[in-house]
Amino acid sequence: MGSGGSLDAEYALKADVPAGAYHVICDAIVIRPVDVQFELIHRRAGTDVQLATWMQHFEPVGAFTAQPYELDVAAPAIQFKSGDELVFRYTGLASELMMAFIPNGDGVTKNGRIPNLTLPK
C-alpha cells in the first residue's frame, strides 16, 4: 500500500489477553520508499480502541523479494467480551506509489515469512 491506503487484518478474540509484548512479523516487499504506520486495535461493538501504534520507514532492497520486519510491541491487557476483535492495521504514508509496501503473503517463495502476531502469554 502507499500514501493514504490502509489494510486491516481482524482476528476474533476467544479469551482475555494479558498486558505484555505482542510479537509482530510483517515481512514485506517494498517497491518504493515508504513510511508505514502500524496499529494494534481492540474492536468492541464497532468501537476501536488503539492499543499500540508505531511508524517504520522502508527502502526497496532491489529485487522483488521480501525484506524482514520483526519486533515486540507492548500493549495493555484486553478483558474479553463476546464479539471482540483484535485488529492489526497498517497504513502507507509519504509514498508516490499505492503499492509501495506489500506484506509478504507468499512466504518463503519470496524469501520472507507470512505476516503474523503472537499474543502475550
Q: Is residue 78 situated within a structural domain?
A: yes
- Name the percent of the chain lying above pLDDT 70: 96
Assess whether pLDDT exceeds 90 at residue 14. Answer: yes
Provide the CATH number for the domain around residue 81: 2.60.120.260
Q: Is residue 37 situated within a structural domain?
A: yes
User: In terms of residue numbers, what domain contains 24?
Assistant: 6-118
Q: Is residue 70 situated within a structural domain?
A: yes
Q: Is 115:25 a contact under the CB 8 Å cutoff?
A: yes
Mean pLDDT of the chain: 90
Beginning with the edge strand found earlier in the chain, give each strand of the sheet holding 6-12 in spatial order: 6-12, 85-93, 34-44, 47-58
What is the pTM for the complete model shown? 0.89
Q: Is residue 72 situated within a structural domain?
A: yes
- pLDDT, residue 3, reads 58
Assess whether pLDDT exceeds 80 at residue 34. Answer: yes
Q: Is residue 1 situated within a structural domain?
A: no
For the stretch 57-89, pLDDT in tens is 999 987 778 899 999 999 999 999 999 999 999
Q: Residues near 78 by Cβ (< 8 Å), separated by ≥ 6?
A: 13, 16, 17, 42, 51, 84, 86
As for how many domains the chain has, the answer is 1
- pLDDT, residue 6, reads 83
What residue has cell string 489494510? 7
- Name the percent of the chain lying above pLDDT 90: 66
Mean pLDDT of 81-110: 85
Mean pLDDT is lowest, of 7-11, 44-48, 50-54, 99-103, for 99-103
